[in-house]
């Protein structure tokens, strides 16, 4: 079965507060995005990679690709204003049956085991969502007050959110809603039940400056 990695890296990284969009920041000797793409090519060198980038960063990417000698099939697509639009642009570049892993370009620590869980469940059931348990206590805000909630009823959601191509392309024909924060929420709004699989705890999304230090330490340990 054909496999696609749709890597979304079309954001600007406003919460990181750096001049350079965070996906290009170097950690342990390589840009975050290079680490991320390499995970998929190591998992399957035949993977068809669709990389979504801000239109203004295409030239920077070509330099990085040359410098780090990334081989493999990598097609470039321009991003949109929101993650939803960037994913949609990427899906438009994919045709034919197969499995698509939709992954944040800023999650360079996804493990081969997580990719394998996602692949197997998406092949069997149509989709797979990698998650991890909540390890801290949780409180729900109730107006001015707050209330303890049972954390065992919640999971933290990672990527790659993995789908049979026809199913996710159809779900993305919907109009965008503020409610959509990921691909599973888009799919669910189209009436499709989501299947959870174990993610890996190191598979953090690099969002704030502290995440850079955590991710660099983890990458240096590899």
Ligand X SMILES: C[C@](O)(CO)[C@H](O)COP(=O)(O)O
Per CB under 6 A, residues contacting ligand CTP are 8-15, 23, 52, 79-83, 86, 104-106, 205, 207
Q: Judged by CB under 6 A, does residue 104 bind ligand X?
A: yes
Residue nearest to ligand CTP (CB): 11
Minimum distance from CB of 61 to ligand CTP (Å)? 12
83 vs 117, beta carbon nearer ligand X: 83
Minimum distance from CB of 101 to ligand X (Å)? 12
> For residue 97, which of 40, 36, 170 has the smallest C-alpha distance?
170
Show the DSSP H helices in 20-111 as ranges.
32-43, 58-67, 83-92
151 vs 205, beta carbon nearer ligand X: 205
Beta strands in the chain (DSSP E): 3-8, 26-27, 30-31, 48-53, 74-78, 99-104, 127-133, 138-142, 145-149, 155-157, 161-164, 196-198
Kindly tell me which residue out of 32, 99, 157, 206 binds ligand X, with binding defined by CB under 6 A: 157
- With CB under 5 to 8 Å by kind, the binding choice for 67 among ligand CTP, ligand X, none is none
Q: Judged by CB under 6 A, does residue 159 bind ligand X?
A: yes
- With CB under 5 to 8 Å by kind, the binding choice for 14 among ligand CTP, ligand X, none is ligand CTP
Q: Judged by CB under 6 A, does residue 23 bind ligand X?
A: no
Q: DSSP secondary structure string, 28-53? A: TTEEHHHHHHHHHHHH-TT-EEEEEE
Q: Which residue has the tokens 């438009």?
A: 92
Kindly tell me which residue out of 83, 100, 194, 199 binds ligand X, with binding defined by CB under 6 A: 83
Three-state secondary-structure class, residue 127: strand
Q: Judged by CB under 6 A, does residue 202 bind ligand X?
A: no
- The gap from C-alpha 195 to its chain's centroid, in whole angstroms, comes to 17
- Antiparallel, parallel or unpaired: β 127-133 and 196-198: parallel
Minimum distance from CB of 158 to ligand X (Å)? 6
Give the span between the Cα atoms of 222 and 209, in whole angstroms: 21
Minimum distance from CB of 142 to ligand CTP (Å)? 27
β-strand partners of 198: 131
Q: Element (H or E) spanning 185, and its range?
A: helix 183-189
Minimum distance from CB of 21 to ligand CTP (Å)? 6
> Which residues form the interface with ligand X (CB under 6 A)?
83, 104, 157, 159, 181-182, 205
């Amino acid at each position: 079965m054909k496999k696609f990695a749709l890597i979304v890296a079309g954001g600007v990284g406003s919460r990181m507060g750096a001049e350079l969009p965070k996906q290009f920041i170097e950690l342990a000797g390589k840009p975050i995005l290079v680490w991320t793409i390499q995970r998929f090519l190591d998992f399957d060198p035949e993977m068809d990679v669709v990389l979504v980038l801000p239109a203004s960063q295409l030239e920077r990417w070509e330099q990085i690709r040359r410098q780090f000698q990334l081989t493999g099939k990598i097609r470039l697509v321009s991003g949109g204003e929101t993650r939803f639009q960037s994913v949609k642009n990427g899906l438009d570049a994919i045709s034919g049956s197969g499995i698509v892993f939709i992954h944040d370009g800023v999650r360079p620590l996804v493990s081969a085991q997580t990719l394998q869980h996602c692949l197997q469940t998406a092949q069997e059931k149509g989709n797979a969502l990698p998650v991890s348990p909540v390890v801290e206590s949780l409180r729900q805000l109730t107006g001015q007050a707050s209330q303890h909630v049972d954390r065992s009823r919640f999971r933290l959601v990672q990527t790659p959110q993995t789908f049979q191509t026809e199913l996710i392309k159809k779900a993305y024909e919907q109009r965008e809603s503020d409610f959509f924060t990921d691909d599973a929420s888009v799919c669910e709004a189209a009436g499709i039940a989501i299947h959870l699989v174990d993610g890996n705890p190191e598979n953090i999304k690099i969002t704030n400056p502290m995440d850079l230090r955590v991710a660099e330490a983890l990458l240096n340990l590899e």
